[in-house]
Amino acid sequence: MPHLSSESLTRAREIVDLYPQRRSALIPLCHLAQEQDGWLRPEAIEEIAGLLDVTPAEVLGTASFYEMFKLEPAGRYVISVCTNVACMLAGAYDLLAHAEERLGVRAGGTTPDGRFTIEDVECVAHCDHAPCVQVNSRYFGPLDAGGFDRLVDSLERGELEGDVPPHGTLVRVRRTKGLMA
Amino acid sequence: MTPDGGPPRILTSRVDLAGSYTLKAFLETGGYEGLRKALSMKPDEVAQEVDEASLLGRGGAGFPAGRKWSMLRPADTTYLVVNGDESEPCTFKDHLLLETDPHQLVEGVAIAAYAIGVEQAFIFIRGEMALGLERVTQAVNEAYEYGALGRGILGSGFNLDVVVHPGAGAYICGEETGLLESLEGKRGFPRIKPPYFPAAIGLYGEPTVVNNVETLSNMSWIVRNGGAAFAALGKGRSTGTRLFALSGRVKRPGVYEVEMAKTTFRDLIYGQEFGGGISGGKELKAFIPGGASAPWFGADQVDMPLDQDEVGAAGTMLGSGSVVVMDETVCTVKVAWRITRFFWRESCGQCTPCREGGGWLEKILWRIENGAGREEDVDMLADICDNISPGLHWPPEQTTICPLGPSIPSPIASVMRMFEDEIRLHVKEGACPLA
């Protein structure tokens, strides 16, 4: 029984065909698997290896280099608090401390209900909105403690479903043109 | 020229337009006219215009784009790769271009590919920029539909395929050979030099040109107005306009397009049309002139023009075009610690001076900032920095495969040069005096 759904597999084959060499699709396929499962499961790594004619160790060895690939289950919403210089000068460490208190987990952790993961991340290039966060790679900021609470409230009530897809869904626009016949 | 007689908006003419990222808005504002014109010229003539524009690469190294193109080794298969992995701390200008004007980039990619005879291009975009990835993917779809990409572009005999490739979170992929490794589906380990330029051996071992997002976003304007018109802006080698990302303790942080060399850091930080001055009316203490890798300037250098060569001669760089402002209340040790922490986290780990040295420096700065500093720490910082980049001069010596290593000492050496008393005060008082 394949782990990747037939839709994921169709998209995976389209992506592989875009590249002159199969292995170039490794990172896009890891994103695709993470979109399906919310994290990068070992079963998905096995199948990606098969699609690319490389070993699972090569897929894992590559994926583990990159911050965005979660090799353990992550929350539905991964909240990445930027603490780099521009955000730090605007109070990012206070914001991070507040985020940890509000959600009851330390940076790197996931709430027991699996809804939220908090991360302490490097600059996400939104410095004119410092201090900022990303939720599943979507930008929010500037945020003070109250703004953070309102953001979490909105996420909990499902009010941001349209803006913030579940963790792992990176690009909602599918490549439709210029595909191999 | 703009109505007020200022320099033209070459890169940001559409950013305030509603739906600026759509093909419709793009076509209504002269979109793809540059490509049309380029296709009516010979490829060499297009390259000649870019050479004449004297456009310096906008990614960080500032290498002339025209020269980079001319170095492309002739071969059956060649590639163009767009570096959209903007990750240098406090740099957010490509972010703006990707989200607000993706077609301008696609047009630039097509013009560049035509000029250098490439039929396959890749746009590598930082993975965390989800909206940018969506906008550029949509623009590529629309460009194929419109006929600006694919077979027989705009009725010509020129073919070009473009793949939008997402990164996955690694600063080091901004280094062009690390980026190529990542694009080949591997860890983003920078390649050992020589060869120094992917133009000789690049993607899959084939000749490859790697250009930054902002660099290519200039192409349409250059082709439409001529390289000479671009070169007429600015001064010396610093031609055209450039985007500067201003952040830190300023009233109006943001991305500003300014004419190179004719604008100073003072204009950018204090000008009413730019940063509007320091927040809370505080005094300027220091600023980073070109990204976290750049040595800092003190307040006495604020009248320096935004000129690549002048800033270089003064011992630092315009780098990635990011200016970070620190006011008198900012602890420079803390800022240096945070930048060092960044480099330590983002070191790819191949080279010992960077992998180990970065971690040691981070720990020493952390203990100084948090009241556990020792008398000998200042000398130890200097010694480790000197081991990573011997002599600590500019441009830096390199003991590592890529420039990440010698970037680590930049903030630390800056603080030691300008604010050594502040470090010693931390040690003496056993606490941060500015906390």
Name beta bridge partners: B208: B79
- Alpha carbon separation from B328 to A122, A123, B322, B360 (Å, rounded): 25, 23, 20, 28
Q: What pLDDT is stored for residue B2 in this prediction?
A: 55
The CATH 3.40.50.11540 portion of chain B extends over 23-228
Q: What pLDDT is stored for residue B4 in this prediction?
A: 59
Q: Does the predicted model carry a pTM greater than 0.95? A: yes
pLDDT in tens, A124-164: 999 999 999 999 999 999 999 999 999 999 999 999 999 99
Measured between CA atoms, how close is B428 to chain A, in angstroms? 24
Helix (H, G, I), strand (E, B) or coil at B288: strand
* pLDDT higher than threshold 70 for residue A62: yes
**Do A48 and A83 fall within a single domain?**
no
Closest CA to B203 of B221, B222, B183: B183
DSSP B49-75: HHHHHTPBPSSSS--BHHHHHHTPPP-
- Alpha carbon separation from B161 to A19, B190, B214, B255 (Å, rounded): 10, 26, 20, 31
Residue A127, domain member (yes or no): yes
Query: Cα Rg for chain A, rounded, in angstroms?
Result: 18
Q: What pLDDT is stored for residue B39 in this prediction?
A: 98
Q: What pLDDT is stored for residue B3 in this prediction?
A: 52
Name beta bridge partners: B80: B121, B209
Residue A38, domain member (yes or no): yes
- Residue B283 and residue B141: Cα distance in Å, rounded? 49
**Do A124 and A81 fall within a single domain?**
yes
Residue A180, domain member (yes or no): no
Residue A90, domain member (yes or no): yes
Burial class (CB in 10 A: 0-12, 13-18, 19+), A115: middle
- Residue A150 and residue B139: Cα distance in Å, rounded? 33
**Do A31 and A10 fall within a single domain?**
yes
Token digits of residue B384: 């480790």
Handedness of CA B102, B108, B110, B116 (dihedral sign): negative
**Do A45 and A107 fall within a single domain?**
no
Q: Answer with the one of A65, A94, A110 that is the final residue of a domain.
A: A65
Q: Tell me, yes or no, if B183 comes closer than 8 A to chain A by beta carbon.
A: yes
Q: Answer with the one of A65, A89, A106 that is the final residue of a domain.
A: A65
Name beta bridge partners: B278: B250
Helix axes A56-63, A42-52, angle to 10 degrees: 110
Question: What mean pLDDT, rounded, does chain B reach?
Answer: 96
DSSP B403-432: THHHHTHHHHHHHHHHHHHHHHHHHHHTS-
Round to the nearest angstrom and report the end-to-end CA distance of chain A: 28
Handedness of CA B94, B98, B102, B107 (dihedral sign): positive
**Do A97 and A149 fall within a single domain?**
yes
Residue in B with minimal Cα distance to A54:
B185
- Alpha carbon separation from B42 to B207, B211, B356 (Å, rounded): 21, 21, 51
Q: Which of B81, B87, B163 to mutate to test the interface with A (most CBs of A within 10 A)?
A: B163
- Domain B332-429, CATH number (from 3.30.460.80, 3.40.50.970, 1.10.10.60, 1.20.1440.230): 1.20.1440.230
Question: What mean pLDDT, rounded, does chain A reach?
Answer: 97
- Residue B248 and residue B297: Cα distance in Å, rounded? 14
Measured between CA atoms, how close is B408 to chain A, in angstroms? 15
Token digits of residue B366: 């952390």
* pLDDT higher than threshold 50 for residue B422: yes
Helix axes A26-37, A56-63, angle to 10 degrees: 80
The CATH 3.10.20.600 portion of chain B extends over 242-327
With beta carbons under 8 A apart, name residues in chain A contacting B149: 177-178
* pLDDT higher than threshold 70 for residue B238: yes
Task: Please judge whether A23 and B145 are an interchain contact, meaning their C-beta atoms are less than 8 angstroms apart.
Answer: no
Let me know: does A91 contact A73? Beta carbons within 8 Å: no
Helix axes B409-429, B332-346, angle to 10 degrees: 130
Q: Provide the edge-to-edge strand list for the sheet that holds B284-288.
A: B254-259, B241-248, B322-327, B284-288, B297-298
The shares of helix, strand and coil residues in chain A, as percent rounded to the nearest 5, are 45, 10, 45
Closest in B128, B166, B169 to A171, CB measured: B166
Task: Please judge whether B338 and A88 are an interchain contact, meaning their C-beta atoms are less than 8 angstroms apart.
Answer: yes
Residues 27-56 of A with CB under 8 A from B: 27-28, 30-31, 52, 54
Residue A42, domain member (yes or no): yes
Which residues form the domain of A36?
Answer: 6-65
Provide the pLDDT confidence category of residue B1 given band limits of 50, 70 and 90: very low
Q: Does the interface ipTM go beyond 0.85?
A: yes
Let me know: does A153 contact B119? Beta carbons within 8 Å: no
Task: Please judge whether B90 and A27 are an interchain contact, meaning their C-beta atoms are less than 8 angstroms apart.
Answer: no
Residue A122, domain member (yes or no): yes
SS (H, E, C) A72-107: CCCCCEEEEEECCHHHHHCCHHHHHHHHHHHHCCCC
What's the CATH fold of domain B242-327?
Answer: Ubiquitin-like (UB roll) (3.10.20)
With beta carbons under 8 A apart, name residues in chain B contacting A62: 185-187
* pLDDT higher than threshold 90 for residue B212: yes
**Do A32 and A103 fall within a single domain?**
no
* pLDDT higher than threshold 70 for residue A180: no
Token digits of residue A143: 């945020």
Measured between CA atoms, how close is B169 to chain A, in angstroms? 5
Question: Stretch B346-351: mean pLDDT, rounded?
Answer: 98
pLDDT in tens, B255-282: 999 999 999 999 999 999 999 999 999 9
Strands A133-135 and A77-82: antiparallel
Q: What pLDDT is stored for residue B6 in this prediction?
A: 74
* pLDDT higher than threshold 60 for residue B350: yes
Round to the nearest angstrom and report the end-to-end CA distance of chain B: 47
Task: Please judge whether B187 and A134 are an interchain contact, meaning their C-beta atoms are less than 8 angstroms apart.
Answer: no
Determine if residue B240 is left, alpha or beta; phi over 0 gives left, psi from -120 to 50 gives alpha, anything else beta.
Answer: left
Domain tally, chain A: 2
CB within 8 A of A50, min separation 6: which ones? Answer: none
With beta carbons under 8 A apart, name residues in chain A contacting B127: 27, 31, 66, 68, 137, 170
Q: What is the distance, to the nearest Å, from the Cα of residue A121 to the centroid of all Cα atoms in its chain?
A: 12
With beta carbons under 8 A apart, name residues in chain B contacting A69: 168-169
Which residue pairs from B151-159 have beta carbons closer than 8 angstroms and sit at least 24 positions apart in sequence? Answer: B153/B35, B153/B39, B153/B110, B153/B114, B154/B32, B154/B35, B154/B36, B154/B39, B156/B39, B158/B39, B158/B114, B159/B119
Q: The domain at B23-228 falls in which architecture?
A: 3-Layer(aba) Sandwich (3.40)
Let me know: does A51 contact A44? Beta carbons within 8 Å: no
Task: Please judge whether B164 and A62 are an interchain contact, meaning their C-beta atoms are less than 8 angstroms apart.
Answer: no
**Do A123 and A146 fall within a single domain?**
yes
pLDDT in tens, B284-329: 999 999 999 999 999 999 999 999 999 999 999 999 999 999 999 9
Q: Tell me, yes or no, if A99 comes closer than 8 A to chain B by beta carbon.
A: no
CATH of the domain at A20: 1.10.10.1590
With beta carbons under 8 A apart, name residues in chain A contacting B330: 89
Provide the pLDDT confidence category of residue B82 given band limits of 50, 70 and 90: very high
- Residue B105 and residue B127: Cα distance in Å, rounded? 18
Name beta bridge partners: B243: B257
Residue A181, domain member (yes or no): no
Residue A171, domain member (yes or no): no
Q: Which of B97, B247, B337 to mutate to test the interface with A (most CBs of A within 10 A)?
A: B247
Burial class (CB in 10 A: 0-12, 13-18, 19+), B251: middle
**Do A113 and A147 fall within a single domain?**
yes
Task: Please judge whether A68 and B127 are an interchain contact, meaning their C-beta atoms are less than 8 angstroms apart.
Answer: yes
Q: What pLDDT is stored for residue B7 in this prediction?
A: 79
Residues 66-85 of B with CB under 8 A from A: 77
